[in-house]
Amino acid sequence: MALQIANPVVVAKIERLAKATGLTKTAAVEKAVEALLEHETPNQIGDIRGRMRAILAQIDRTPDLPAPFDPLEWDEYGLPR
In a domain, 80, yes or no: no
Residue 28 lies in domain: 24-60
In a domain, 46, yes or no: yes
What Cα–Cα distance (Å) separates residue 11 from each residue in 7, 8, 15, 29, 66? 6, 5, 6, 10, 65
Instruction: List the Cα angle 29/33/38 in 5-degree steps.
Output: 150
pTM of the complete model beyond 0.75:
no
Q: Name the burial class of residue 13, with classes exposed (0-12), middle (13-18) and buried (19+) by CB atoms within 10 angstroms of its CB.
A: middle
In a domain, 12, yes or no: no
pLDDT in tens, 6-53: 999 999 999 999 999 999 999 999 999 998 888 777 777 778 888 999
- Find the helix or strand (DSSP H, E) in which 22 lies: none
Domains: count for the chain:
1
In a domain, 52, yes or no: yes
In a domain, 16, yes or no: no
In a domain, 42, yes or no: yes
pLDDT > 80? residue 65: no
In a domain, 10, yes or no: no
